[in-house]
Amino acid sequence: MSSPPSASSKQDRAFVAEALQGNEAAYQALMDKYRPALRRHIARIVRDPRDLDDLVQETFIKAFTALSTYSTEYAFSTWLYKIATNHAIDYLRRKKLKTLSLDEPIQTKEGTLERELADTTYFPDRHIVEDQRRMLLQEAINALPEKYRRVIVMRHQQEKSYEEIAEELNLPLGTVKAHIFRARRLLYKYLRSKRSSL
């Protein structure tokens, strides 16, 4: 028999329910509540602090885009941390940082051992859902005003640094950061309005 939800979990469920009704303040409340803890959580996985704020923001976008799939059987924080973990790991893969290879055998005194890990991530229709999400995200990017679309493409598809974007577009660094922040807000609103398609 499961224990009753904590006051914090009840509060989260209320926020989620309101957010699903389109209440902007409820989204903001969840972000304010979890941003510091999420930042610490991602920092444990990604050692480079430079992209930390981006990763936190992107985790919230992913979570809010998929909010209708959240089940109240689980704590909202657990669900959010799982999204954050997966996103941080994807980031490390993209950056091709040196991480432990699961394919290389382990050398021991007794000989060579192969790593065997159960695949808990296999869902037959997962690639279809991922394709739909990618298409929806691309659609959202295409719908952005030109000045925002340009910086988002350079930042997230071409993986350029803020400094590189500022130099290439001949814009102040602060303007680039502001454009990217506003572009993300617009993407988030667009994706939220299309959430039922996911």
- Give start and end residues of each alpha helix (H) in the chain: 7-20, 24-45, 52-65, 76-95, 126-142, 146-152, 162-169, 173-193
pLDDT of residue 101: 47
pLDDT surpasses 60 at 197: no
| 169 neighbors 150 (Cβ within 8 angstroms) | yes
pLDDT of residue 105: 53
pLDDT surpasses 70 at 142: yes
Select the more confidently predicted residue: 29 or 50. 29
Average pLDDT, integer, range 180-188: 84
Nearest to 92 by CA among 125, 52, 37, 151: 52
What are the residue ranges spanned by the domains of the chain? Answer: 1-100, 125-198
pLDDT in tens, 114-139: 545 445 455 555 566 666 777 888 88
pLDDT surpasses 80 at 49: no
Q: Which CATH fold would you assign to the domain 1-100?
A: Rna Polymerase Sigma Factor; Chain: A (1.10.1740)
pLDDT of residue 96: 63
* pLDDT mean across residues, the chain: 78
pLDDT of residue 195: 60
Q: What is the dihedral of CA 118, 121, 122, 126, to 10 degrees?
A: -170
Average pLDDT, integer, range 78-97: 84
Average pLDDT, integer, range 98-127: 52
User: What's the whole-model pTM score?
Assistant: 0.54
Q: Give the separation between CA 166 and CA 152, rounded to whole angstroms.
A: 12
CATH architecture of 125-198: Orthogonal Bundle (1.10)
pLDDT of residue 104: 53
| 129 neighbors 198 (Cβ within 8 angstroms) | yes
- At how many degrees (to 10) do helices 173-193 and 126-142 cross? 130
